[in-house]
Chains A and B, each alone.
Chain A
C-alpha cells in the first residue's frame, strides 16, 4: 500500500532556484541527519512546485547515506486508510507500532487532515513519539499549517516547533533551467530561443511547464521543421492563456465538506446536546491556541528561516540554534541583525585574508560567527605572514651623503621628510643624473623612516615595481600585491622616469599614490629627469609628482668631489695624500660614482705595481701621461673622464669601459 519512492524524484533532478533554495537546503539537512535538525520539517507549496519531489528526494538522499535507514513514504490518504483498516481489524496498536519503527517518515498532502479529528490526534501521537525517539518526520501540504481548516492547535505548535518552510513559484531563470534539463532528459533538441520563449510565458507551475514541454516535443515530432520560438509561443501560449495567470490547481482541492461524520457543528441553534456544548468551547479554545501559538512562536519561524538562509550560505548557525532551544522568546530582529553584522565582518576579514594568502579563502574560521576571535587570529596571522615589500638597503646612510652647495637643499628636504613623514613635502621628487646620489639619498631616507618603526617602508626601483606587478598579474594575485603596498607607511620609488609608456604600472602607481597621500603617508621618488620631461608619463601622474617638492641633485661640485675623495682615501688607504686628493677632486666628473671609480682605478694600479697611490700615478693612469710632470694648459682639461684620451685606440676602449660606472647603469643608458 505504501508507495515506493519514485526513482526520478531525487535532489539531483530537482532544479534549484531562488524560490526553492531554502526548502532544498532544509530538506538536504534533514536527509543528511534525520531527526537532529528541523523535526518535524513541514514543506508547503502550491500544487505543481515540487513538494512530492522534495519529499521523495529526502528519502532517496537519506537512504543513500545510510542504506539501513527505515524510510516510509505515504500520502495522508494512505495513512488514513491504513488506520481505518487497522481499527477495523482490531489492530490499532500494530498500526502504531509499524510507524514507530520508521526512522524517516514522509507524509504527503497533510492538508487533507481538515476536520479529521481522530487522524489529527493519531498524527499528533505519532509526531510526539517519533520526536521523542529522535526519528524524523517530514510533511508536505499545499498551505501552511495555520491555514489548514480546523487543524488541532497542538499539531500547529508541533509543526512550528520544527521548521515550516514554503516553496515559491520558480522565476524565469529557474523555468529556463527546468525546461533545459527536462528537454535534455527526454533527448529533445529545440531551436535556440524556444525554451526561453516558453519560460517567458509566465507558467509558474512546474507540472504545467513540463506539460508544455511535452506538447512541444509531440508537436516537433510530427512536423518537418524544428519548432520556432514564435510557434512555441503560439502553441503553448494558446493553452496557458486560458488559465488564470497560467497557474493550474491540478490537485484536488481540500474538501470543504468533511468526508467523515463530524460532531454536530458548534454554535448550533438550541437545544444543544451536552457534547456539542463542550465542543463549542473546545473549538474556541483550539482557535485561540492556534492564534496565540502563531503570534508567540512567530519568532521561532523567523529565526528558523534565518538559520536556513545562513546555513545555505555555509555559515555555522549555532548561535541562532541556541536561541531556538531556549524557552524564552528573544527579540528575533535584534538577534538576527547581530548575527548578520558578524557574518558581514567575517566576510570582510575573509576577503582581506584571501588577498594576503589565497589559501585562506573558504577557511572554516571565517564561517562561524560564534567564534569571531578565531577569524581575527587567522587574519592577523595572514597579515603578519604576508611578504613585506622590498625595504631600503641598509648600506646607504644619510651620514655618508656628502653635503655641498648642490646637495644642501635635497639634504634639508630629506631631514624634514624624516621628521614629519607625509606632512610637509609629499611627494618628494629627487631629480638628478646618473650617479648624482639619488638612490643613495632615497635609501638613506628610507632607512631613517624604517628606523622610526611606524610600519614597513617600501623602497624599490621602478623596474622592480613593474616586474612585481607583472608577476602578480601572472599569478592572478594583483589584489594581494596591492595590499602589500597599501599597508606601507612610506613608498620610495627609485628611477620613476622608467615607468614612462608602462600604462598598467602607471595606473597602479596612480591608485597607490592617491591612497597613500590621502592617508598621510610619505612618497619619495627619484628621477633622471624632471617629471615634465619623462616621455609617456600620464598627465595625472606628472601633475601629482610635480605637486610635492622637486629637488635637483646636480653633478658634484669640486667641494663635494674633494670631500668624497678624502673620505674614500681615508676609508681605503687609511691616510690622506693631499696632492692626490686635490688632483682627483680637480678632475671633472659628472657624478660621485665617477669620482669614486677614478680613485679606485688609481688604487688598483698602485696595488698592481706594488707602490703607493700618488698624484703622479693618478695622472699616468687617468690621463695616460708619464709620471713626469707635464705643463698642461688649463683648456686641455677634458670635460669628462669618458672622453677618449690622446693615447692609442686600444687604451681608449679600455678606458671607456673602465670609466663606465657600472654595467647596470650602462645597460640602462643604452636602453634609454
Chain B
C-alpha cells in the first residue's frame, strides 16, 4: 500500500494495534473514538463476540482533513488477541504502516506478552516485513492497577523493548497515554513518509 499518493494527493496511514488478548487494544480505539469530533471520524467497525471480545477486528477511520494539499487519513485497526485467530491477525497486519504493541502490564501476563510479540514478528516475517524496518511503539497498558500486580514501564521495557523504540505507560480505560501512543506511532510513520517521498 502506498503511504503517499501524489496523484490522488492523499496520505493514508494504516496503524495496527497488536498485543495479547485482553491487553486493551479495543479500549484504545474506543477512547480515541470518543475524543474525535463527529465530522472527523468514520463509523467504528467492531465485530465483537457476545462476551465483548474482538472476533474479527476493529476498524476506526480518522479523517484528518487536508494537510499541505494532501487529504490525510488514518486507519486504526486492532487484531483479535486470542492465539487461535492468527489467520485474521495476519490479514489485518497486511500493509500496516506502523504497529502499536499493546502489552498487558500485569506480571501474570508476562508470558502472553512475549508470546504475542513473537507472534507479531513471525507474522510480519511471513509477509516479508522485517520488524526492525517497521515503525513500532510499545504501550504498557493497565498501569493504573495496584503496583504489586504490575510491572513498571522500565521493567516492561527490559522484558520486551530490546530495540529501545518509543514506549508509553498507559491506562487506556481512562485515556492516559492513549493519544501519546497514537502520536508516537504517527510521528514515526510520517517521518518515514519523507523517505518514501524521495523515492516516489
Contacts and interface: CB of A to CB of B under 8 A. Distances in A.
Contacts of A284: 179, 182-183, 186
B67 interface: yes
B179 A295 contact: no
A267 B179 contact: yes
Contact of A292 (B67, B176, B178, B180): B67
A280 B35 contact: yes
A270 B174 CA distance: 6
B65 to A, nearest CB: 8
B67 A281 contact: no
B72 interface: yes
Given A295-B194, A296-B197, A281 B72 contact: no
A277 interface: yes
A86 interface: no
Contacts of A281: 32, 35-37, 40, 179
A296 B191 CA distance: 10
A267 B182 CA distance: 12
Contacts of A328: 6
Contacts of B179: 266-267, 280-281, 283-284
Interface residues of A, number: 29
B34 A277 contact: yes
B127 interface: no
Interface residues of B, number: 34
B187 interface: yes
B68 A292 contact: yes
A280 B176 CA distance: 11
A293 interface: yes
A64 interface: no
Contacts of B194: 295, 298
A291 B191 contact: yes
Contacts of B74: 288
A440 B161 CA distance: 94
Given A278-B37, A295-B190, A329-B6, A289 B67 contact: yes
B11 interface: yes
B176 A267 contact: yes
B190 A291 contact: yes
Contacts of B70: 292, 296
A464 to B, nearest CB: 61
Best-surrounded residue of A153, A284, A289, A293 (most CB of chain B within 10 A) = A284
Given A291-B187, A295-B197, A272 B175 contact: yes
A293 B67 contact: yes
A287 B197 contact: no
A293 to B, nearest CB: 5
A296 B68 contact: yes
Given A281-B36, A328-B6, A288 B72 contact: yes
A157 B32 CA distance: 26
B128 interface: no
Contact of B35 (A278, A289, A291, A299): A278
A654 interface: no
B190 A292 contact: yes
Interface in B47-77: 64-65, 67-70, 72, 74
The 6 closest A-B pairs by CB, nearest first: A270-B174, A296-B68, A292-B67, A291-B190, A281-B35, A295-B194
15 contacts: A267-B177, A278-B37, A284-B179, A284-B186, A285-B64, A288-B186, A291-B187, A292-B11, A295-B190, A295-B194, A296-B69, A296-B70, A298-B197, A329-B6, A333-B198
Interface of A: 153, 157, 266-267, 269-270, 272, 277-278, 280-281, 283-285, 287-289, 291-293, 295-299, 327-329, 333
Interface of B: 4, 6, 11, 32, 34-37, 40, 64-65, 67-70, 72, 74, 174-180, 182-183, 186-187, 190-191, 193-194, 197-198
Given A289-B67, A292-B11, A328-B6, 10 more contacts: A153-B67, A281-B37, A284-B183, A287-B183, A288-B72, A288-B74, A291-B191, A292-B68, A293-B67, A296-B69
